[in-house]
Amino acid sequence: MTERVLVYGLGVAGRSMVRAWIARGGDVVAADDSASDSALAEMKALGVEFVAAPDDKRLAELVGWSTLVAPAPGIPERHALFERAARADRRVATELDIAYEWEQERAGGPRPMVAVTGTDGKTTTTLLAAAMIGAGGRSTVACGNTDVPLVDALELDVDCFVVEATSFRLAFDRSFRAEASAWLNLAEDHLDWHSSMATYEASKARIWTAVRPADVAIGWTGDPVVMRHLGRVPCRRVTFGAEHGDYHVRNGSLVSPDEEIVEVAALRRSLPHDLTNALCASALVMESGLADRRAVAEALSDFVAPKHRIELVGVADGISWFDDSKATTPHAVVTALRGFDDVVLIAGGRNKGLDLSEIASESARIRAVVAIGDSATDVAAVFSGLRPVEIADSMADAVARARRLATSVVLLSPGCTSYDWYDGYTRRGDDFTRCVTELIGGTP
């Protein structure tokens, strides 16, 4: 029987699902609350019916027609689509489930997968694991919550996959699993997508829903929620942590349960979270057998962190300027602050319903705060009576104020999204870099 698929949401992953289902002979209808012109043009070129912002009656008709509802990651769990799917007893499957099931049917057998989830550090850990596997001689791809959805990655000539698994992709997961899967941490985030912290936590935990006894689940010893879930997983369990865990730091080196991996001094950057990310990635590839110690050490020595993640922009007059624009949660800001002392923090933007007061837990490391964006007054309130705060009306103004206040480090680590002044965190980070470069001179 031909699968009748309702793909709801035409972002990167949604459009990939439409193309993939068509290639596999599915009968596809696409819908979205607000689709881009390029997405609409692609649906027209593919001959796919598109329904824009369906009302409740039309939505019920679409769900009733379908045999499978495939929501894109951007469709929040409180969307009416899911209530309609439940009423009609229709299966809901996101990209990870669909791609995993297709890979299991692959001629010649499925290729190995390792996966990473967590509130912060997913992308860096995913890229680290892919670099380690590549250094070991296997071809791989970092996919999932990247520019390459897993459904697209299946078509690549690779030996294995490293999957960045967000809560959005895991929320309705039933069958997806990986031979090795890691949960980095859990902190308040995405409450504009999830209905509560409970459902956010439950979505993250789904990375271990379908594990088999021979799989390995990997968790951070520093997070009690992760450890609680890890203790229930019916497969082999491995831990990591800076001081405690099967993979940890000892006598200036990263070590596994069996051997020294690499000296910390050999890493290009060794902030506290750099070490835990490195330990997690090492566990993923070594415990799955996809890379050995030599390959892991080589990759760690050569690895350069992705842009906008505590990236050094420049140094002038004894002040170091860092771009951490990717930090869109208070938890991420706290993680960044723990790598420094005497910081002038530039923070703010559009808050996504999170408690910004967590940032103040590291106020001992902060000299002063420059608040920006829609949440500037909220940031100022958090530090009222704790640290000097100035409010800036542009990034250039924020950089100028930070220069006047700083003696050692200026850190852009907003703790909020960028969708007040910018259309993404990369634009925000790029603008910060431009402003800093113009202020201090030279090349970023």
> Do 124 and 50 share a structural domain?
no
User: For 309-345, what is each residue's pLDDT tens digit?
Assistant: 999 999 999 999 999 999 999 999 999 999 999 999 9
> Do 192 and 117 share a structural domain?
yes
End-to-end CA distance of the chain: 58
* Residue whose C-alpha is closest to residue 163's, from 13, 329, 308, 326: 13
> Do 358 and 232 share a structural domain?
no
Burial class (CB in 10 A: 0-12, 13-18, 19+), 201: middle
Report the chain's mean pLDDT, rounded to a whole number: 96
> Do 391 and 247 share a structural domain?
no
> Do 295 and 186 share a structural domain?
yes
> Do 206 and 192 share a structural domain?
yes
In the prediction, which pLDDT does 192 show? 79
DSSP string for residues in 86-149: HHTT-EE--HHHHHHHHHHT-TT-PPPEEEEE-SSSHHHHHHHHHHHHHHTT--EEEEESSSS-
**CATH no. for residue 217?**
3.40.1190.10
Q: Are 304 and 268 in contact (CB under 8 A)?
A: yes
Burial class (CB in 10 A: 0-12, 13-18, 19+), 157: exposed
**Residue 414 dihedral angles phi and psi, to the nearest 5°:** -70, -35
444: pLDDT strictly greater than 60 = no
In the prediction, which pLDDT does 188 show? 83
Q: What is the mean pLDDT of residues 285-302?
A: 98
In the prediction, which pLDDT does 85 show? 97
pLDDT band at 244 (very low <50, low <70, confident <90, very high): very high
Report d(CA 205, CA 167) in Å as an integer. 9
Range of the domain at 391: 311-440
Percent helix, strand, coil in the chain, to 5, is 40, 20, 40
Decide which of 302, 329, 359 is a domain's last residue.
Answer: 302
Tally of domains within the chain:
3
Return all residues near 160 (Cβ < 8 A) that are at least 6 apart.
111, 112, 113, 114, 133, 138, 139, 140, 290
Decide which of 24, 59, 92 is a domain's last residue.
Answer: 92
> Do 271 and 164 share a structural domain?
yes
pLDDT band at 193 (very low <50, low <70, confident <90, very high): confident
In the prediction, which pLDDT does 118 show? 96
Predicted TM-score (pTM) of the model is 0.89
> Do 103 and 72 share a structural domain?
no
> Do 183 and 117 share a structural domain?
yes
> Do 238 and 135 share a structural domain?
yes
Report d(CA 184, CA 220) in Å as an integer. 6
> Do 254 and 180 share a structural domain?
yes
Decide which of 92, 126, 148 is a domain's last residue.
Answer: 92
> Do 144 and 20 share a structural domain?
no
